[in-house]
Structure 1
């Protein structure tokens, strides 16, 4: 018996990289799958139904169950269709995994607005596209013990402030806020929502110059395999993870990390309206020691974003 026997999952970005690894892992654990991938380039241009179809054929050839969809996940009609496919093919939906993403990296002063819009569209609307119809279905079930799961993909680029990825970092930090909102809003319907911040060698990271990668290390193909992301996603998709929701989990190589949620680390106050000089003095005395310890430069030795 697999840990996902009888469960039905939608996976976006399923045709390659991390999405393909998750698809194989889910199938091995008994999940029935709806696999979506536009088959576009790393920058989101073009399209090819082949990757989604290929991974579905692979799953079916190994005795699993999968159907493929090659639609643009940033189109809300695609998300609705994926939910409908799950219900038509398998009669239920338990898990949504949003992996699909693109990169269009530039420093902010060189970033074309169309590249900003494209990245925000794929990541944020791409998540909304699947989550809205899935959440509506789960709400209709009125089953607080449904073990329903939303697993979103964020990035260290957001958490650590990658300098050449302002659009990507903004989108991925937005996904963290979305995930927290979903965890709070959907808990009564038996839904948990968590975000994964992965570190793996994929088509997307291959487009990042070596000198721009956060902590890139050569000769680590096995450690940085996308297959190392799949185990934590598989656990979250199962019925034993009800206790975990609204959190961000880092996964890179052979490590899994629990990221801290934002918290107040220092407070200053006044008896009345702030005097500018008093405010400046208190900020310098109280906030500066803490802020200096959180300077973005400390993040440059971390693992590369995906």
Structure 2
């Protein structure tokens, strides 16, 4: 690894950094010169259990390659914990320039079979996890705005499932919620000299491995292909890039458009069921 890369001097928190996309991203950021704080609760894919092993292993790999990193073990949905995570990062490295939240679990089921616990667990980890980290980062960046020597960056992680995916009502709702959160944060954070963008990654991870009918293989879309996109979004080169949803899939990068009216029609007399019934096909 190098300490003179494009991210030299950047201190970045990577939650969910013990496996998959988070692990690949943490290693890539460190390889580009960043100091990385790796958070991972080390749960199963369903959110059960806990282990310090995944975060420790990622940090060990970074250090073995000559990079700078530390592990931080805790639940990213906990507001007190995420405040501690930020405070400890500042205490150790003097600053927090960026964060990306890969922490996530899956509890797939069709609506007729999904339990309240299945719903709450997935919404909690994916959506509250983003909120808990982002709220405390916003407070920290507000407090340190006058001393900031660069624009700080937050990267939220969404999914193609945000557009809807059978068997994933909980996950789809959470990932769609992340988009709303990031769009709102992108309107608020610039006053603190910070920005927020959403990453929509497609990569082979343990979430894909768990699917009965895998849509693609590890060689098609490895997590390492996504990591440089995060590296760019947290770098100083991305200053002013704010409120975007960036899709990263293999060798392709694209911008995902925000929702907008596709077609519209007007009735000067006001709509009724009857007039809508007569004309609704015009919108289709």
Equivalent in the alignment of 1:103? 106
Asked if 2 retains the 8 angstrom alpha-carbon contact of 1:145 and 1:190, the reply is: no
The residue number in structure 2 matching 1:45 is 48
Mapping of residues 52-63 of structure 1, within 5 Å? 52-63=55-66
Deviation string, structure 1 residues 161-212 (Cα, Å, up to 9, x no partner): 11110000000000000000000111122211111111111111111110xx
Distance in 2 (CA, whole Å) between partners of 1:78 and 1:223 is 36
What residue is the counterpart of 1:84 in the other structure?
Answer: 87
- Report the Cα offset of residue 34 of structure 1: 1.1
State how many pairs are aligned. 280
Please tell me whether the aligned partners of residues 34 and 85 of structure 1 are also in contact (alpha carbons under 8 angstroms).
no
1:156 to 157, 160, 175: 160
Contact 2:79–2:136 under 8 Å retained in 1: no
Check conservation: 1:223, 1:254, Cα contact below 8 A: no
1:81-119 Cα shifts (integer Å, max 9, x gaps):
110111000111100100110000001111001000000
- Kindly indicate whether residue 16 of structure 2 is the aligned counterpart of residue 13 of structure 1: yes
1:257 counterpart = 2:254: yes
Give distance in 1, aligned partners of 2:271 and 2:219: 56
Once the two structures are TM-superposed, the CA of residue 20 in structure 1 deviates from its matched residue by: 0.5
Residues 150-229 of structure 1: matches in 2 within 5 Å?
150-159=154-163, 161-210=164-213, 213=214, 216-217=215-216, 220-229=217-226
In structure 1, list runs of 5 or more residues that go unmatched: 289-306
Pairwise CA distance, 1:261: 0.8
Q: Does 1:22 align with 2:22?
A: no
In the alignment, the residues of structure 2 paired with residue 155 and residue 240 of structure 1 have an alpha-carbon distance, to the nearest angstrom, of 25
What displacement does 1:141 show? 2.0
Moved over 6 A (4+): none
1:240 aligned counterpart, secondary structure: helix
Aligned match of 2:275 = 278
> Are 1:287 and 2:283 an aligned pair?
yes
**2:237 aligned partner:** 240
CA distance in 2, matches of 1:188, 1:280: 47
Question: For residues 149 and 168 of structure 2, what CA distance do their matches in structure 1 show?
Answer: 39
User: How far apart are 1:72 and its partner, in Å?
Assistant: 1.4
Q: Distance in 2 between matches of 1:109 and 1:195?
A: 31
Cα RMSD (Å): 1.3
**Conservation of the 8 A alpha-carbon contact between 2:21 and 2:102:** yes
Cα distance in structure 1, aligned partners of 2:254 and 2:94: 35
Paired residues of 1:28 and 1:64 also in contact (CA < 8 A)? yes
CA deviations on 1:216-265 (whole Å, 9 max, x unpaired) are 13xx4223211111010000010011232111111111111211111111
TM-score by length of 2: 0.95
Is 1:267 the counterpart of 2:264? The answer is yes
**SS, match of residue 240 in structure 2:** coil
Shift of 1:145: 6.5
